[in-house]
Amino acid sequence: MNTNNTPIAELNNICKQFRLPTGAEIKVLENISLQIRSGEIVALLGPSGSGKSTLMRILTGLIAPTTGEVLAYGKPLPGFHPRASIVFQNFALYPWLTVYENIAMGLEWLKLPDDEVRKRVRQAVDKVGLEGFEEAYPKELSGGMKQRVGIARAIVVQPELLCMDEPFSALDVLTAENLRAEVLSLWLDHKVEITSVLFVTHDIREAVFLANRIVVLGSNPGSIRIILQNDMPHPREMRSPAFLAMIDRIHDIITNAIIPDEIAAVTPTAVQRHIEPLPYVSPGEILGLLEILDDQNGSIDMFELAQKIGKDFGSTISVAKAAELLDFVDTPKHNVIFTDIGKKFLASDMNERKILFKRQLLSLRLYVVISGMLQKSARLNLDEEIILEQLAIVFPDEDVEKLFDTMVGWARYGELFGYNADDKVLYLDTGQETAG
């Protein structure tokens, strides 16, 4: 056990480049300095491709950095880290070995006596709840049970630092939630020798739920944007105001960092404080609602509205919410009423409507962020995949493809940005003047 406060693991000014088969070099990590100390849980949070796994592999000695220093307990790392072990996202189990044998593989290189191996494997099985499954093969197990084997194999070596590379992301939501809480309780209740945990995630809630320190990484090349301290006591309640405030703060950090100054300067002052998803509603449906509202002298009850537009109540609320998000209507108590902007929009001709719509889009943080990303990109365009990844980080509960389609539909209407379905590329619409 590490009694003084020397970091268990330390990276100083790490850079990592990979050579591609074409001979080209890609820089994956730049100037990474990070220390992992005894007693902490550290999250590496970032979009996929930001180098999180590479960073973890360098820290544990699985691969070497291109430049920079890797230390274990203050000394240069001699190959693998002597007191760290890794849990992988896809379990990495040997299909031809039983659960027992897979766990015992973790001890292979320690060359322990057989009875010590048996004792340690039994303890690990016990700690992760695999009793009765020792003789099963991986293919007979659910994803959650497979990952229990992955965790048992990592803890059987009695590491001080447990590293986990997106350990719960291949599991369904409920299984992930259970296993996450169990791993936390292993650490909190000192049921294992592990004093520190380092884990990779792209899920903000997972980071806030588990970690004491959250390292936010940006991509191209991967670098540390900020390290946040999270002192909320365990157990953390995901719906508590403090938890939600922390999530908001990280959203802000991630989104603000990708809004370039030029965009920030031209956007209206009343941009939403927090990023919000869009209701999955088309501009046509929003326009339809405004027209009905106009027929009703600018005010209608939500139930009546549902009848008029022939949709169920939930869908009607979504349309009203979409119009409200754009500040075209207000929705006091089950009523929908016009705002001045909504009235003006409806009274405008096609061209003016588009200009007004665009202006309203730019009061939504989502559009400010995405326009900012496009503006920053070399050719004012970005692959759909990159946007989907960002959306998945910021809105883990949303159907990001539906959100993407909705976002593009609105942006096309407001001629803010367009989408080329053949190349799957989103591009900034530079042909239009911004509304003054």
The DSSP result for 315-381, as a single string, is: HHHHHHHHHHHTTSEE--TTEEEE-HHHHHHHHS-HHHHHHHHHHHHTTSHHHHHHHHHHHHSTTSE
Q: Nearer Cβ to ligand ADP, position 54 or 360?
A: 54
Site for ligand ADP in 218-257 (CB under 6 A): none
| Minimum distance, C-beta of residue 51 to ligand ADP, in the bound complex (Å) | 4
Cα atoms in the 13 Å half-sphere on the side-chain side of 184? 20
Cα atoms in the 13 Å half-sphere on the side-chain side of 264? 8
Only one residue has tokens 């006591």, namely 233
Q: Nearer Cβ to ligand ADP, position 262 or 385?
A: 385
Q: Beta strand 25-36 with 161-165: parallel, antiparallel or unpaired?
A: unpaired
Q: Nearer Cβ to ligand ADP, position 91 or 100?
A: 91
Q: Nearer Cβ to ligand ADP, position 28 or 124?
A: 28
Query: What are the tokens at 199?
Result: 């884990």
Contact 7, 37 (CB under 8 A): yes
Query: What are the tokens at 16?
Result: 């990592």
DSSP three-state, residue 214: strand
| Minimum distance, C-beta of residue 46 to ligand ADP, in the bound complex (Å) | 6
Stretch that binds ligand ADP, among 41-49, 85-93, 246-254, 323-331 (CB under 6 A): 41-49
Q: Nearer Cβ to ligand ADP, position 216 or 263?
A: 216
Only one residue has tokens 């909190």, namely 188
Which of the 8 DSSP states describes residue 433?
P
The DSSP result for 3-31, as a single string, is: -S---SEEEEEEEEEEE-TTS-EEEEEEE
| Minimum distance, C-beta of residue 168 to ligand ADP, in the bound complex (Å) | 15
Q: Nearer Cβ to ligand ADP, position 53 or 212?
A: 53
Site for ligand ADP in 45-74 (CB under 6 A): 46, 48-54
Kindly determine how many residues on this chain lie close enough to bind ligand ADP according to the rule CB under 6 A.
Answer: 12
d(CA 48, CA 201): 9
Binding of residue 313 to ligand ADP (CB under 6 A): no
| Minimum distance, C-beta of residue 50 to ligand ADP, in the bound complex (Å) | 4
Site for ligand ADP in 196-215 (CB under 6 A): 200
Contact 201, 166 (CB under 8 A): yes
| Minimum distance, C-beta of residue 201 to ligand ADP, in the bound complex (Å) | 10
Among 8, 9, 14, 28, binds ligand ADP (CB under 6 A): 28
Q: Nearer Cβ to ligand ADP, position 87 or 281?
A: 87
Binding of residue 18 to ligand ADP (CB under 6 A): yes
Q: Nearer Cβ to ligand ADP, position 13 or 430?
A: 13
| Minimum distance, C-beta of residue 247 to ligand ADP, in the bound complex (Å) | 20
| Minimum distance, C-beta of residue 297 to ligand ADP, in the bound complex (Å) | 54
| Minimum distance, C-beta of residue 301 to ligand ADP, in the bound complex (Å) | 49
**Per-residue b or e along 50-73, where b marks 16 or more CB atoms closer than 10 Å to that residue's CB:** bbbbbbbbbbbbbeebeebebbbb
Site of interaction with ligand ADP (CB under 6 A): 18, 20, 28, 46, 48-54, 200
